[in-house]
Amino acid sequence: MITTTQAQQYDIVVPHCCLLGEGPVWDEQTGSICWIDLLNGRIHEYTHAANLFRTLPVNDLIGAVALCENGDFIAGLKEGLMIVNRNNGTTRLLQHPEAHLPQNRYNDGKCDPMGRFWIGSTSLNNTVKAGNLYTLNNDLTCAIAIKGVTMSNGMAWSPDNKTFYYIDTPTFEVAAFDYDIETGQISNKRIAFTIPRTEGLPDGMTIDSEGMLWIAHWDGWQVARWNPDSGRKLFSFRLPAAFITSCTFGGDELQDLYITSACAGLSEKQHEEQPLAGSLFVIRNCGFKGMKPAIFRYP
């Protein structure tokens, strides 16, 4: 397998490090990049044109956010799936499908092309297959899409809206499903490809306009571009942090690649060696373009 690692210059978006940065989301209406600090319970937002960095505390573990039509956030908090007012941080509960499982929390989440919110769960105690993947529909009903996952992570929909890709991190596998855009149903699971363990654990994921998957590799120092049809690693961007957590495209033409990272779990020596761990990185004009970000649609 021939791959290329590129040392293209990255920028630090803001001089701030998260404990566990995750879930970057591009807001094309405001030209802002939003991301979370999962452990500190904060939503961060940076607007480049105004050079404005804002932090919205939600006072709870937060696994993921997505944008709503009115500009607010839909978020997976420890205490449920909630609307977060973007101005003042107040929350409104929509659903809590795991209220009966206090040992779980919500993890990665994303909107599908029809504006449904997909959100996975994981055990606080690392219990194997204790989590599930849920779909929060446009009418606010909630259903299980995949049962029995361990660490629900990366999600992406193919450009033709026919395939759903999904990562359960400890499996090192990227699964593919047939996806029905009208109903939101997934079927015909197969393993698109398996990540070699030497690459680091597969974490968050996005997809580009050519249908190639971009995967953040926890303990892999990289975000890598993979061909889901052949399973071939096309190349990677190396970064100055071991724990790379997620990525998304942003910018006026979705030409910039935003990448989150974490510093939680590093030893004192590792902190000294990785002073930028926990930063939000951006590779401007990365050479590829992303898909238009989907937003949550509800009554």
Active site residue 11: no
How high is the pLDDT of residue 46? 98
Q: What is the pTM of this model?
A: 0.96
- Active-site residue (options: 108, 203, 208, 256): 203
CATH of 4-283, one of 3.30.200.20, 1.10.443.10, 3.40.190.80, 2.120.10.30: 2.120.10.30
Six-digit token string for 118? 């997909």
pLDDT in tens, 99-119: 999 999 999 999 999 999 999
Length of the chain: 299
Who's near 267: CB < 8 A, 6+ residues apart? none
Sorted by where each begins, the domain ranges of the chain are: 4-283
How high is the pLDDT of residue 2? 38
3-state secondary structure of 59: coil
Q: What is the DSSP letter of 293?
A: P
Q: In what order do the strands lie in the sheet with 256-261?
A: 11-12, 281-283, 256-261, 244-250
Under-50 pLDDT residues of the chain: 1-2
Q: What is the DSSP letter of 119?
A: E
Six-digit token string for 37? 């600090």
How high is the pLDDT of residue 299? 86
**Beta strands in 112-230, from DSSP E residues, in sequence order:** 117-123, 131-136, 142-149, 152-157, 163-168, 173-179, 186-194, 201-207, 213-218, 222-226
